[in-house]
């Protein structure tokens, strides 16, 4: 008779609405493999023989810290050999790789876990078999003496994200029957792999194997391995990235003893099993899996646990060597400033310089993860076109950066510096870890700028181009109304009449000139200095210099729709709206000319806005 599936169980948060498909899948696995009763509970350690053979729990921890649980995921059992990877990582970080690697090999032995065979140098083959694991416990004992076991227990607790207990009965049971491991211990001492008290080292080893975990703990511990040593639930960096990657290496080649080759061939996920019935599988950058089911096959691996791993790997195609990625997806937009200038409204002279030299500023907007291949692709895209004078890399949609990606990017910056190209980064904060990585590798380079807003980066780049081609701007110099774009085409007489209506106003840097929501009762013509227009939420709409109107929407709308601030000391001509209306009646031709200029101004803004949108949507 087919067993009915167990109820769905979940992590700490109850599901609202539908069930995630991954939880459904794990539940299906549980239902499908629960009837599997082949294999036998380990009893060479007598106390282990008391486990309930029907217990079956599956837990999967994601790298964003969610834990799925199905079945008996809260039943404690002893960690046994699944302690080996963690104690190896701990030894690497505690004693240094050189010391550890000088006495423990990293080759698969092809032997069972309890084999009493050493390699040609009389060292353990690897840290995943008993000989290597006992050697690791010996190293920790060498460094920490009597505190060794407590040191290990606490380290494993950091991987699990909680304090872990010990099953004293299982410990005592193994200690009284563990002569085979004692034989290995003494063999290690004659070969100087263990230097001090063998008996004490073995007690540390037996105790570490008797640490109590649940399937959930194992999933979180595995996820920490898959996450470069950062526990995704607690956020703690538990071990160094070096120790973690080397641990995963030996799990890959030797984690499943004499089944290791077949395991990695079929399932392709670094894993470790324990005779207590646990299997731990850590797929780097993806997930951690913990399963518990005490019936073991002839290699000492949990029968149902293997089936769960097989099903997960096959169903979602998770074999770690079955991967591809398209680096070309990393560039979301690539353009020069010709069709996407900054929001700074430029004077005619600046406009003509920028129109002639817009090819000098290239903007590359990136998205997603900046990996080795992504950055390589970007560097080739850059090289494929004539070299610009300035390149803006917009990173605001970059969600992650690998070390390889950051390194290549830094090398690209050096390459650009060698060709006197200025690099401007936007969308990355100086406080971010990604920036730190880049900064470390670009020390000494003076051609890198950082503006958080892309628009500010483009504006700065435009200024460089304007200066380079002789368009130096004296912001303090006062201009008169005849230089106003909105008033183009007016006669001298009309301008003189208009000037008689204007009051000259002065503003200090950062003074608010116009506030959103106020009645719009006047228009302004910027006479000197720089002002900017922003929406109340802080989005900058435009930066204006002398010769440009602001508050001109008063001609169309009764209330101010944006704020205007002075960027530096500024002066403006202010004309009350009612005076302006009177002027329009007296000079109908000039009035019509101004309204036509206004329509042109609005049309230009719209065309620009459309072009910017198009850049992002046309891929």
209 binds ligand GLN (CB under 6 A): yes
Q: Which pair of structure tokens corresponds to residue 531?
A: 């002002």
181 part of the interface to ligand GLN, by CB under 6 A: yes
* Residues 6 or more apart in contact with residue 383 via CB below 8 angstroms: none
**Within 237-266, which residues bind ligand GLN (CB under 6 A)?**
none
Q: Which of 133, 119, 110, 112 is nearest to 185 (CA)?
A: 133
- Told to check if 203 binds ligand GLN by CB under 6 A, we report no
Q: Which of 71, 138, 300, 405 binds ligand GLN (CB under 6 A)?
A: 300
Residues 6+ apart with CB under 8 A from 34: 3, 6, 56, 71, 304
Cα distance between the two ends of the chain: 56
174 interacts with ligand GLN by CB under 6 A? yes
CB of 298 to ligand GLN, least distance (A): 13
> Containing H/E element for 40?
strand 40-41
State yes or no: residue 113 binds ligand GLN (CB under 6 A).
yes
Q: Does 275 bind ligand GLN (CB under 6 A)?
A: yes
In the complex with ligand GLN, which residue's Cβ is closer, 79 or 264? 79
Among residues 27, 59, 94, 114, which is the contact residue for ligand GLN, using CB under 6 A?
Answer: 114
CB closer to ligand GLN, 105 vs 132: 132
Please report whether residue 373 would count as binding ligand GLN according to CB under 6 A: no
The CA distance from 181 to 116, in Å, is: 8
270 contact partners, CB below 8 Å, separation of at least 6 = 225, 248, 251, 252, 255, 264, 281, 282, 283, 284, 320
CB of 130 to ligand GLN, least distance (A): 5
168 versus 493: smaller Cβ distance to ligand GLN: 168
Residues 6+ apart with CB under 8 A from 274: 78, 79, 80, 81, 82, 83, 209, 280
204 binds ligand GLN (CB under 6 A): no
Burial 407-436 (b: 16+ CB within 10 A, else e): bbbbebbeebbeeebbbbbbbbeeeeebbe
Is 210 or 465 the residue whose CB approaches ligand GLN more closely?
A: 210
Nearest residue (beta carbon) to ligand GLN = 81
Binding-site size, ligand GLN (CB under 6 A): 11
Positions 61 through 90 that interact with ligand GLN (CB under 6 A): 80-81
Q: 181 or 543, CB closer to ligand GLN?
A: 181
CA-to-CA distance for 199 and 8, rounded, in angstroms?
46
CB nearer ligand GLN, residue 227 or residue 301: 301
Is there binding between residue 184 and ligand GLN (CB under 6 A)? no
Is 222 an interacting residue with respect to ligand GLN (CB under 6 A)?
A: no
CB of residue 447 to ligand GLN, shortest distance in Å: 57
Residue 114 Cβ vs ligand GLN, minimum distance, rounded to whole Å? 5
CB of 264 to ligand GLN, least distance (A): 18
Taking a C-beta distance cutoff of 8 angstroms, is the pair 112, 300 a contact? yes
Instruction: Please name which of 251, 247, 80, 112 lies closest in space to residue 184, comparing C-alpha atoms.
Output: 112
Which pair of structure tokens corresponds to residue 34?
């629960």
* Number of Cβ atoms within 10 Å of the Cβ of 477: 10
| Residue 27 in the binding site for ligand GLN (CB under 6 A) | no
Q: Looking at beta carbons only, is 113 or 525 nearer to ligand GLN?
A: 113
Interface contacts to ligand GLN, rule CB under 6 A: 80-81, 113-114, 130, 174, 181, 209, 274-275, 300
């Amino acid at each position: 008779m087919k067993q009915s599936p167990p109820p769905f169980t979940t992590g700490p948060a109850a599901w609202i609405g539908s069930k995630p498909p991954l939880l459904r899948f794990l539940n299906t696995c549980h239902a499908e493999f629960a009837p599997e009763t082949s294999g036998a509970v380990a009893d060479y350690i007598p106390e282990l023989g008391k486990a309930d053979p029907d217990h079956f729990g599956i837990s999967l921890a994601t790298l964003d810290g969610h834990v799925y649980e199905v079945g008996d995921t809260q039943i404690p059992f002893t960690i046994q050999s699944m302690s080996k990877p963690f104690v190896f990582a701990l030894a690497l970080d505690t004693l240094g790789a050189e010391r550890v690697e000088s006495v423990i090999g990293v080759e698969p032995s092809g032997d069972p876990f309890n084999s009493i065979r050493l390699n040609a140098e009389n060292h353990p083959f690897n840290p995943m078999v008993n000989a290597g694991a006992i050697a690791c416990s010996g190293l920790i004992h060498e460094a920490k003496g009597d505190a060794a076991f407590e040191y290990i227990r606490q380290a494993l607790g950091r991987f699990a994200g909680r304090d872990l207990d010990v099953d004293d009965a299982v410990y005592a049971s193994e200690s009284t029957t563990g002569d085979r491991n004692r034989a290995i211990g003494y063999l290690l001492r004659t070969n100087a792999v263990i230097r001090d008290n063998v008996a004490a080292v073995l007690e540390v080893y037996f105790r570490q194997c008797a640490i109590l975990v649940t399937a959930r703990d194992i999933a979180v511990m595995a996820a920490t391995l898959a996450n470069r040593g950062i526990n995704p639930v607690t956020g703690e960096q538990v071990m160094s990235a070096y120790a973690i990657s080397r641990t995963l290496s030996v799990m890959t080649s030797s984690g499943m003893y004499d089944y290791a080759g077949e395991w990695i061939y079929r399932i392709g996920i670094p894993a470790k099993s324990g005779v207590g019935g646990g299997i731990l599988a850590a797929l780097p950058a993806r997930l951690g899996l913990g399963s518990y089911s005490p019936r073991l096959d002839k290699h000492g691996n949990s029968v149902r646990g293997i089936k769960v791993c097989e099903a997960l790997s096959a169903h979602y195609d998770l074999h770690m060597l079955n991967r591809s990625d398209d680096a070309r997806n990393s560039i979301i937009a690539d353009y020069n400033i010709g069709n996407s200038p900054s929001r700074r409204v430029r004077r005619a002279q600046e406009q003509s310089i920028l129109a002639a030299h817009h090819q000098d500023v290239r903007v590359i907007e990136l998205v997603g993860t900046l990996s080795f291949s992504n950055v390589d692709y970007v560097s080739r895209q850059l090289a494929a076109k004539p070299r610009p004078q300035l390149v803006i890399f917009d990173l605001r949609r970059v969600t992650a950066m690998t070390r390889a990606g950051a390194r290549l990017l830094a090398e690209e910056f050096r390459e650009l510096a060698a060709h006197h190209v200025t690099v401007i980064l936007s969308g990355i904060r100086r406080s971010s870890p990604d920036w730190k990585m880049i900064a470390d590798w670009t020390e000494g380079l003076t051609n890198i700028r950082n503006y958080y807003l892309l628009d500010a980066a483009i504006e700065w780049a435009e200024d460089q181009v304007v200066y380079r081609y002789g368009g130096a701007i004296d912001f303090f110099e006062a201009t008169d109304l005849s230089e106003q774009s909105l008033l183009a085409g007016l006669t001298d007489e009309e301008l003189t009449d208009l000037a008689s209506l204007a009051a000259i106003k002065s503003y200090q840097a950062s003074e608010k000139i116009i506030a959103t929501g106020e009645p719009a009762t006047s228009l302004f013509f910027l006479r000197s200095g720089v002002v900017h227009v922003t929406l109340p939420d802080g989005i900058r709409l435009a930066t204006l210099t002398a010769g440009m109107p602001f508050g001109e929407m008063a001609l169309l709308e009764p209330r101010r729709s944006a704020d205007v601030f002075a960027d530096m000391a500024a002066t403006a001509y202010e004309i009350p709206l009612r005076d302006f209306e009177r002027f329009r009646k007296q000079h109908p031709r000039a009035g019509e000319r101004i309204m036509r200029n206004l329509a042109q101004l609005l049309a230009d803004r719209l065309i620009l806005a459309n072009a910017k949108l198009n850049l992002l949507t046309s891929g």
